[in-house]
Amino acid sequence: MALVGVVGSSAQAPVRANTAWLSYGHDGQLTNYVRSPMLNATTAPHIHLLWATKLDGSIVASPLYAPARLVTGARVDLVFVETEAGSIYALLARSGAIVWQRNFGSLSTDCGTWGFTSTGAIDLRRGLIYAISADGELHALALETGDEAPGWPFAVSAARNQYEYVWGGLRIVGGRLYVGVAAYCDEPDPANLFAEGRLLSISLDDPANVKTFDPVPGYGNGGGVWSWGGVSVEPDGSALYTGVGNSYVLDPTCACYVDTAGYGERMLKLTPDFLVIDSDRPPDVPNTGDDDFGSAPVLFQPPGCRPYAAANNKLGLLYIWNRDLLGHGPIMKFGLGDGIAAFVGAPSYSPDLHTLFEGHSMVFRNGQHLGEGVSAVSVDRKCHFHLGWTTQTGDGNQPAPLLVNSLVFAADGDPGGYTILNAKNGRRLWSFSTNGVATISPAIAAKDVIIAGDASGVLRAFGR
């Protein structure tokens, strides 16, 4: 661990700093957006590494941040991060020093070794962080000590953890925790049973109080909820949204396994009690071919416009819906991926700039593929969408970018590194090399510090 500096204070604070990052996407609408009095286009070129801490495995899940926790008699800000080695850590946000570590093991399958891929959820009222690793057990750990809470863990997929896995972020809504179950790599078990995709709602006061939604009725037939964000939530908590993966159902008319049985390959709108309000499978999505929505949608509403939802599909398309009329189909789509590399996730949204920022967009010049980067899709005063700038930042899988004021902080994907762009024009303001180590974990903001992890297990903090 290297201690490089401490973030100073600003004499001018025109906007309130970010105070917590409790779940994937920062808020229930998955905007990945915060305001900061210190990070802007003027200060971005002067950002530097504050500290770096080496952990025990690759970081894929998003870090989380809880301020002002009482540890050994002092109030400190804590950062929480999970690794694919099966560990969850609490670190001091100021220095990167490790406060505690808990390890739940990893699991090797035909398509890799897994620990924590799902982003946990912090419950400040109960002082707990909920997290689920490859053991299939949902843990509730004290923020200050890492101790397991009474009555936990709760078995989610422990009985079939060789085939079922939680990818998506956990989400707390109205005293319940929402958990989406999917598969590792779409492989059936020896009995030809697929993972049983489902969405769980678990009472935080009584973990035995569980409600289940099965997107594809029947057992062992897919329909995984594997979206990175888990579920997104209307600001008033009245509805949930999630993308559903492929089904595994034999259709006698074609003697083939179809991906679209039940709610397979659909975007869903549900009540918190799992009544289906609406759904959509765009006409582009075929019956076979594994063209999932690997994402819960980002929810946003520009001034004077309808409420919208936006998410990616593996076809390489960014879809945008009027979320009050989800079943009417997308009102707009943009071809930003190549339809070959998995185009999953969702864009981030700036409510100040009325703009979506999409990571993992294909970048071409003179017909030649240069790599991937960030695209800006703006909404004008007439509620029309426009594809603006695209800037290459790297290549391969890239997470949703972090938005801080008028800055876009992008993890550069397979070649590693980080880039800060001016959100208004896509110009590069700052970059940092990780010496070829991939960066596919979403970055977060902890007050005026940016926290990001890489595939070698190094967690870094950047600031002024």
Residue 1 has a pLDDT of: 34
User: Domain for residue 265, yes or no?
Assistant: yes
AA identity, residue 130 = Y
The answer to the question of residue 225 being in a domain is yes
Most confident of the following: 105-119, 357-371, 426-440: 426-440
Cα 307 to Cα 312: distance, rounded to the nearest angstrom = 18
Question: Taking Cα atoms as reference points, which of 366, 385, 369 lies closest to residue 337?
Answer: 369
The predicted pLDDT at position 96 comes to 98
> Would residue 40 count as lying in a domain?
yes
The pLDDT of 292-299, averaged and rounded, is 91
Query: pLDDT confidence of 8, banded at 50, 70, 90?
Result: very low
Contact present, 181 and 227 (Cβ < 8 Å): no
For residue 250, is it within any domain?
yes
Which pLDDT band holds residue 18 (cuts at 50, 70, 90)?
Answer: low
Write down the pLDDT at residue 6: 31
pLDDT value of residue 294: 83
Task: Work out how many domains the chain is built from and give that number.
Answer: 1
CA distances from 57 to 273, 304, 309, 456 (A): 37, 46, 34, 6
d(CA 99, CA 80): 10
Q: Please report the DSSP string for 354-378 in residue order.
A: TEEEEEEEEEEETTEEEEEEEEEEE
**What is the widest separation between alpha-carbon atoms in the chain?**
70
The DSSP H or E segment spanning 80 is: strand 74-82
Residue 448's pLDDT is 92
DSSP string, 188-231: --TTSPPPB-EEEEEESS-TT-EEEE-SSSSSS-B-----TT--
Instruction: Answer yes or no: is 308 within a domain.
Output: yes
Distance CA 85, CA 114 (A): 7
pLDDT mean over 16-26: 82
Q: Give me the mean pLDDT over the 113-122 stretch.
A: 96
- CA–CA separation, 437 vs 146, rounded Å? 29
Q: How confident is the model at residue 459 (pLDDT cuts 50, 70, 90)?
A: very high
Q: Say yes or no to pLDDT of 389 above 90.
A: yes
- Tell me, yes or no, whether 91 lies in a domain: yes
What's the distance, Cα to Cα, between the start and end of the chain in Å? 19
CA 183 to CA 194: how far, in whole Å?
Answer: 8
- The pair phi, psi for residue 426, each rounded to 5°, is 80, 5
Q: Which domain holds residue 233?
A: 17-387
- Domain annotation covers residue 63: yes
Beta-carbon contacts of residue 91 (< 8 Å; ≥ 6 apart) = 53, 78, 79, 80, 81, 97, 98, 99, 459
Mean pLDDT across the chain, nearest whole number?
92
**Cα 386 from chain centre:** 25
- Which pair of structure tokens corresponds to residue 385? 């969408």
| Residue 365: both structure tokens together | 């010049």
Helices and strands (H, E) in the chain, number of each type? 0, 39
Q: In the numeric block, which tokens belong to residue 276?
A: 């289906």
Q: Are 146 and 166 in contact (CB under 8 A)?
A: no
Beta-carbon contacts of residue 153 (< 8 Å; ≥ 6 apart)? 137, 138, 139, 140
Higher per-residue confidence, 252 vs 235:
235
> What's the rounded mean pLDDT across residues 290-310?
94
Residue 368 has pLDDT above 90, yes or no: no
Lowest mean pLDDT among 51-60, 302-311, 338-347: 338-347
192's CB contacts (< 8 A; 6+ apart) are none
**What span, in angstroms and rounded, lies between the C-alpha atoms of 328 and 322?**
8
The CATH number of the domain holding residue 346 is 2.140.10.10
pTM exceeds 0.75, yes or no: yes
Q: How many residues does the chain have?
A: 464
Calpha distance 7→403 (Å, rounded): 19
- 381-407: average pLDDT: 96
For residue 5, being part of any structural domain is answered with no
Mean pLDDT for the stretch of residues 260-275: 96
Task: Say which amino acid occupies 144.
Answer: E
pLDDT tens for residues 52-103?
Answer: 999 999 999 999 999 999 898 899 999 999 999 999 999 999 999 999 999 9
CA-to-CA separations, 53 to 64, 96, 337, in angstroms, rounded: 15, 6, 34
**315 burial via Cβ count (<10 Å: 0-12, 13-18, 19+):** buried
> How would residue 414 be classed by pLDDT, with cut points 50, 70 and 90?
very high
Token reading at 168: 């998506």
